[in-house]
Amino acid sequence: MTEQQVKNYIGGTLVPAHSGLWLDNYNPSNGQVYSYIPDSNAEDVQQAVEAAEKAFPPWSGCGAQERYRIMNSIADLIAERREELAQAESMDSGKAIGTSRSVDIPRAEANIRFFATAILHFGSESHHMEGVAVNYTLRQPIGVVGCISPWNLPLYLFTWKIAPALAAGNCVVAKPSELTPMTAFLLSKICLEAGLPPGVLNIVHGLGSKAGQAIVEHPKIKALSFTGGTATGRILAATAAPMFKKLSLELGGKNPNLVFADCDFEKAVSTTVRSSFANNGQICLCGSRIYIERPIYEKFRDELVRRTKALKVGDPFDDKTDQGALVSKQHREKVMGYLALAKKEGGTILCGGEPIDPGGALSGGYYLSPAVAEGLPNTCRTNQEEIFGPVVTLQPFDTEEEALALANGVVYGLSSTIWTSDIGRASRIAGRIQAGIVWINCWLLRDLRTPFGGVKNSGVGREGGTEALRFFTEAKNVCVRY
């Protein structure tokens, strides 16, 4: 095997899977296998857990300042290799290089720096019983924790989990998606260079159903932070709950955008193009159901369609590309299946939804033109199920109450966006909308200190800022009698 081999990172060394087996890793821009990843199983996970257990006492005991120092060196190396990592991310996921350069890699660096610093400011409570005693809370690392992340924002979401876990003093067994393992592999090399002690972070590559499941089932892994689909989250919870593991689940979404007639039209329409199709619609925070107040329905629809048609789909490595390839052949088939369903359910596809062949070396890639549909009832499957691709639906509404009912009429509740110049109305809706995140007159404006997560079938628990540090620590009350 002369092509690139991704290796597991276990106990500070880069190793193949015990099984000696490899999985093909595809380049979505041309549909070709370009590297191989270890097909890991429970044996590899066991070795990773043993390495993590050994590393835990010194890592949890070395002090926040030392953990900050090493993590900051990791962030420095990510910054130095920004371009190499961005190229690798686009090769692995098919996303446009501009997105990797401006979103994925800078955010991965920011995640590590943010939590490296946050741990230096992480306080805990004390409760005074006047004249009797004082209670203080210790927030102690849990031990060995598991982090499992998806393919849509590979290094971005991987670091969003491992950074707070490590900063809080835990040792980690982590698995990136088998579809996008490359930047996690490059990160393991960076960790070696930065002097992260062996076993503090272990990365096991392979299939979710095998390597991922072995992490979830391992009795020594006491907490699991998972981002992925709702169906997978259900499997995880079923396995982990009877073992009394701490669980953080960031799951699927079907996010609404509410566009009122009094909005700043230009800002609303230009941001809606982005919130619909950024990263090919493969961001859990993309708005996929767009509700438009009737007086501006046609105007907004026509402008959105015009701008969607102008998006350039093609070579992820061309700076001018807006939309690269979808992550896999199966995923493109799934998205196209939903477009066929939308037609069956009575919808009209106003633009897009066609496979695109850029020709030449890119002929085998998984390209799809971004699609806008209308004429579908809120209750149909197209409007109820997560598509997670470049597809949005439009529906008109007449009143605030109706808009809210439509927005809340799904099983998901991750994020939402409200466009209006009436701040009273925006605040009213923000209070009543069923979502963990509400953006008013903006989208994807992120402050890493804020709580991040969903309600209903979009997840359990919150990430971000102190929420993540609390998740990755156990609170212990100490009562001192005077």
Stretch that binds ligand NDP, among 83-91, 170-178, 260-268, 394-402 (CB under 6 A): 170-178
- 287-293: strand order across its sheet: 348-351, 371-374, 391-397, 287-293, 255-259, 415-419, 437-440
Q: Which of 89, 178, 250, 374 is catalytic?
A: 250
**Burial class of 375 by CB neighbour count within 10 A (0 to 12, 13 to 18, 19+):** middle
Instruction: Determine which residue in the list 152, 275, 382, 393 makes contact with ligand NDP, applying CB under 6 A.
Output: 152
Is residue 451 a contact point for ligand NDP (CB under 6 A)? Answer: no
Q: Which of 284, 386, 463, 467 is catalytic?
A: 284
Rounded to the nearest whole angstrom, what is the least distance from the CB of residue 224 to ligand NDP in the complex?
Answer: 9
Instruction: Determine which residue in the list 22, 59, 115, 151 makes contact with ligand NDP, applying CB under 6 A.
Output: 151
Instruction: Determine which residue in the list 175, 222, 332, 462 makes contact with ligand NDP, applying CB under 6 A.
Output: 175
Instruction: Determine which residue in the list 207, 356, 380, 411 makes contact with ligand NDP, applying CB under 6 A.
Output: 207
Residue 103 CA, distance from chain mean position: 12
Instruction: Determine which residue in the list 177, 288, 323, 417 makes contact with ligand NDP, applying CB under 6 A.
Output: 177
Site for ligand NDP in 45-64 (CB under 6 A): none
Is residue 228 a contact point for ligand NDP (CB under 6 A)? Answer: yes
Site for ligand NDP in 79-118 (CB under 6 A): none
The answer to whether residue 250 is catalytic is yes
Is residue 178 a contact point for ligand NDP (CB under 6 A)? Answer: yes
* Distance of alpha carbon 311 from alpha carbon 273, whole angstroms: 9
Provide the token pair at 336: 């196209």
> Dihedrals φ, ψ of 140, to 5°?
-110, 145
* Distance of alpha carbon 153 from alpha carbon 106, whole angstroms: 12
* Distance of alpha carbon 302 from alpha carbon 265, whole angstroms: 12
Q: How many CB atoms lie within 10 A of CB 447?
A: 8
For residue 453, which amino acid is it? Answer: G
For residues 226 and 300, which CB has a smaller minimum distance to ligand NDP in the complex? Answer: 226
* Distance of alpha carbon 441 from alpha carbon 310, whole angstroms: 23
Q: How far apart are the first and last CA of the chain?
A: 69
Q: Where are the beta strands (DSSP E) in 65-209?
A: 126-129, 133-141, 144-148, 171-175, 201-203
Is residue 213 a contact point for ligand NDP (CB under 6 A)? Answer: yes
Interaction mask 367-396, ligand NDP, x per CB under 6 A: -------------------x-x--------
Site for ligand NDP in 398-437 (CB under 6 A): 414
Is residue 179 a contact point for ligand NDP (CB under 6 A)? Answer: yes
Instruction: Determine which residue in the list 413, 459, 461, 464 makes contact with ligand NDP, applying CB under 6 A.
Output: 459
For 168-181, b where at least 16 C-beta lie within 10 A, e where not — what string? bbbbbbbbbbbbbb
Instruction: Determine which residue in the list 162, 184, 216, 335 makes contact with ligand NDP, applying CB under 6 A.
Output: 216
For residues 150 and 164, which CB has a smaller minimum distance to ligand NDP in the complex? Answer: 150
Q: How many CB atoms lie within 10 A of CB 32?
A: 12
For residues 6 and 179, which CB has a smaller minimum distance to ligand NDP in the complex? Answer: 179
* CA-based R_g, the chain, Å: 23
* Distance of alpha carbon 291 from alpha carbon 231, whole angstroms: 27
Q: How many CB atoms lie within 10 A of CB 349?
A: 18
For residues 252 and 314, which CB has a smaller minimum distance to ligand NDP in the complex? Answer: 252
Rounded to the nearest whole angstrom, what is the least distance from the CB of residue 323 to ligand NDP in the complex?
Answer: 18
Is residue 173 a contact point for ligand NDP (CB under 6 A)? Answer: no
Is residue 154 a contact point for ligand NDP (CB under 6 A)? Answer: no
* Distance of alpha carbon 77 from alpha carbon 64, whole angstroms: 20
Nearest CA-CA partner of 177 in 453, 388, 411 = 388
The catalytic residues are: 250, 284
* Residues contributing to the site for ligand NDP (CB under 6 A): 148-152, 157, 175, 177-179, 207-209, 212-213, 216, 227-229, 232, 235-236, 250-253, 284, 386, 388, 414, 454, 458-459
